[in-house]
Amino acid sequence: MTGTLRIDIGQHSEAGRKPLNQDFHGAVVPKDALLATKGVVLALADGISSSPVSQVASAAAVRGFLEDYYLTSETWPVRRAAQRVLQATNSWLHAQTQRGEGRFDKNRGHVCTFSALVFKGREAHLLHVGDTRIYRLHPQALEQLTEDHRVRLSETESYLGQALGMSPALEIDYQHWAVDPGEIYLLATDGVYDHLDAAAVHAALAAHGTDLDAAARSLVQLALDRGSADNLTLQLARVAALPAEPAEQLLAHQATLALPPSLQPRMRFDGYTIVRELHASARSHIHLAIDDETGQQVVLKSPSVDLREQAAYLDRLMLEEWVARRLDSAHVLKPCANNRPRQHLYVAMEYVDGQTLAQWMVDHPRPDLDTVRQLVAQVAKGLQAFHRKEMLHQDLRPENIMIDRTGTVKIIDFGAVHVPGLAEATGAPQARTIVGSLQYTAPEYFTGDGGTSRSDLFSLAVLTYQMLTGQLPYGLQVTQVRGPGDLHKLRYESVRTQRRELPAWLDSVLRQALQPQPNKRHEALSAFVHDLQHPAAQHLRDQQAPWIERDPVRFWRGLALVLGLVIVALVARLAGVLQP
């Protein structure tokens, strides 16, 4: 283990016995941060021989993928980033096809097959469409990892069923798996793989040692010697070294940053002067400080004494600043720009002069609906900044929202944020662990299904309900959910139980956003915010629904009260009749 991903690459391509090479290939080995966040990429494409322009398609596909993949958000997982790029490439190629001869005959359009391998962290990711192939080399065999997208009419006749540029819609095969040092992979077009076997590959590798380009050249020549009549392209990739396990990376990082001392007022610390303590809890200590270079007020968040030995906690603490640097929203706390070498482990963020939403709710126990709507809209914009980067906040609660003196709302805590692109390295790309405050966490986390953007929507709806009523919509029922069957036991308490003056349609909007099943909630945060301002027709219809449907708890309580009074009256009357 070297602590850094290293992939040795060799590649070669020739036209062979054809006048024009319609294959195209390429590889990128980035440096520094991109190596960790995006990985190493190999890609090749094979143009179809019936098309006079398929060499244009194969070159555009490979060049576009190798360039655009590295321009996608580093927070995106490989699958999303790669498929987005390939979908865009496919759309462009198909548009070119529709403008030329391929409009009436796809075999003459901008069409090509495509295969790519992305090595990121300790995993390989495969993207594939068509009949180029990717193999893993074993001592006695070549293991084909891709599936040919060819439709077989007979033993001698077949046609390409899927390829880039063939149709406006594209299904891209995707696989991923853990890799080990020393593994060797091959990417090849049919002009090569139809004429090679494992023995030939092993012989070429043995003959040329570490020179994988020479090995690729010799294998292409061998395929020619064995009768290949097509273009020939071959890429070899050897896993030379893998990065350390995430836990090992964290330990290495912690070795370079000392844990901070107990911070006190007027103390000098890493180029800051401590002003005062703002907050202390079992998780962290937060201090107001002055940057000695700029005079700017900043907030320093340092680990609590109780959790300093927990590597996972320290990792999440350092993740907060990383997340903040990748978001751009007036409603998300910003990191402090500081290029000084850091000596200690802490987080430096902007200072917000204001109060938490928790304190605001104490000061405003019965706010008007319009004020609440304005606050909710701002929180939603902050959450949308996370969602645009494929991140989930996962810990939206009153203490994690600040309102400054101008009324601007900011989400301030990122310790529970889920970043799929980073989680791939840990082997847990799905957000399944409960990391936020239980009473604001969506039910799907408790059932083990994991969170989505609709889970953050649920948390925002809980906050909306709480701002209006001072209560939680399900009380503490959600925290008792253990499986899908428990979702049916959740009983929503009507917002109008606490405040009868609120409109009935508002109850319908909140009831939808707080549905136990995620697929029954609003599709997006914007839809929820819009409904709070301009309720959809379904919510207006709901306010005309019978009382038992709009507020079943209040209905049955009222009915029980009426029946109780009737019984008391009947008993009193009966007692009067029976008196002598």
* pLDDT tens profile 86-101: 999 999 998 888 887 6
What is the pLDDT at residue 551? 58
Instruction: Write down the domain spans for the chain.
Output: 6-243, 250-328+336-347, 354-545, 552-580
Share of the chain above pLDDT 90, in %: 57
> What residues are paired with 354 via a beta bridge?
404
Per DSSP, the residues of 62-78 read HHHHHHHGGGS-TTS-H
Highest-pLDDT range among 146-155, 208-217, 385-394: 208-217
**The one-letter amino acid at 557:** R
Phi–psi pair at 26, nearest 5 degrees: -175, 165
Give the confidence band of 447 by pLDDT, cuts at 50, 70, 90: confident
H helices of 269-391, in order, are 311-324, 357-363, 369-388
Those residues whose C-beta lies under 8 Å from the C-beta of residue 107, and which sit 6 or more positions away, are 48, 50, 51
> CA-based angle 324:397:423, to the nearest 5?
45
Give the confidence band of 304 by pLDDT, cuts at 50, 70, 90: confident
Q: Tens digits of per-residue pLDDT, 511-570?
A: 999 999 999 999 999 999 999 999 887 777 765 545 555 556 566 677 777 787 888 778
Burial (Cβ within 10 Å: 0-12, 13-18, ≥19) of residue 155: exposed
What is the pLDDT at residue 216? 97
How far lies 1's CA from each of 5, 136, 209, 255, 339, in Å? Answer: 9, 21, 21, 18, 30
State yes or no: pLDDT of 68 exceeds 70: yes
CA–CA gap between residue 535 and residue 458 (Å, rounded): 18
Q: What is the mean pLDDT of residues 240-263?
A: 70
How far lies 67's CA from each of 39, 80, 116, 168, 172, in Å? Answer: 13, 16, 13, 22, 19
State yes or no: pLDDT of 250 exceeds 60: no
Specify the pTM: 0.63
User: How many other CB atoms sit within 10 Å of the CB of residue 49?
Assistant: 13
State yes or no: pLDDT of 246 exceeds 60: no
CA–CA gap between residue 11 and residue 25 (Å, rounded): 8
What is the pLDDT at residue 416? 87
Those residues whose C-beta lies under 8 Å from the C-beta of residue 272, and which sit 6 or more positions away, are 289, 290, 291, 292, 298, 300, 348
What is the pLDDT at residue 544? 52
CA–CA gap between residue 17 and residue 11 (Å, rounded): 19
What is the pLDDT at residue 248? 45
State yes or no: pLDDT of 194 exceeds 80: yes
Beta strands in 242-382 (DSSP E): 268-269, 272-280, 284-291, 297-303, 347-350, 354-356
Q: What is the mean pLDDT of residues 413-425?
A: 76
Beta strands in 156-225 (DSSP E): 158-160, 173-178, 184-188
What is the pLDDT at residue 564? 77
Instruction: Provide the CB-side half-sphere exposure for 15 (13 A, CA).
Output: 7
Q: Over the Cα atoms of the chain, what is R_g?
A: 31
Give the alpha-carbon dihedral of 468, 469, 474, 475, to 10 degrees.
140
Q: What is the mean pLDDT of residues 167-173?
A: 89
CA–CA gap between residue 177 and residue 228 (Å, rounded): 32
Phi–psi pair at 510, nearest 5 degrees: -65, -40
CATH 3.60.40.10 correct for 6-243: yes
What is the pLDDT at residue 243? 87
What is the pLDDT at residue 219? 97
The CATH class, in words, for 354-545 is mainly alpha
Least confident of 58-72, 160-174, 176-190: 160-174
Beta strands in 153-193 (DSSP E): 158-160, 173-178, 184-188
CA–CA gap between residue 572 and residue 207 (Å, rounded): 107
The CATH class, in words, for 250-328+336-347 is alpha beta
Nearest CA to 111 among 67, 60, 66, 69?
60
Residue 40, SS3? Answer: strand
How far lies 433's CA from each of 196, 436, 501, 562, in Å? Answer: 47, 9, 39, 47
Least confident of 42-56, 89-103, 127-141, 292-306: 89-103
State yes or no: pLDDT of 381 exceeds 90: yes
Least confident of 4-18, 123-137, 395-409, 434-448: 434-448
Share of the chain above pLDDT 70, in %: 90
CA–CA gap between residue 110 and residue 88 (Å, rounded): 14
Give the alpha-carbon dihedral of 294, 297, 301, 305, to 10 degrees.
100
Q: Which position has the higher pLDDT, 335 or 100? A: 335
Q: What is the mean pLDDT of residues 375-387?
A: 96
Q: Which two tokens stand for residue 234?
A: 């071959």
What is the pLDDT at residue 539? 76
**The one-letter amino acid at 365:** P
What is the pLDDT at residue 550? 55
CA–CA gap between residue 11 and residue 100 (Å, rounded): 33
Q: Do domains 6-243 and 354-545 have the same CATH topology?
A: no
Q: Check if the beta carbon of residue 104 is closer than 8 Å to that of residue 144.
A: no
User: How many other CB atoms sit within 10 Å of the CB of residue 36?
Assistant: 17
Phi–psi pair at 148, nearest 5 degrees: -70, 130
State yes or no: pLDDT of 36 exceeds 90: no
Q: Can you tell me which residue has the tokens 């009256």?
A: 569
Q: What is the mean pLDDT of the chain?
A: 87
Residue 483, SS3? Answer: coil
CA–CA gap between residue 574 and residue 580 (Å, rounded): 12
Question: Could you give the strand order of the β-sheet that contains 184-188, starting from the edge strand earlier in sequence?
Answer: 6-14, 232-241, 184-188, 133-137, 142-144
CA–CA gap between residue 390 and residue 300 (Å, rounded): 27
State yes or no: pLDDT of 300 exceeds 80: yes
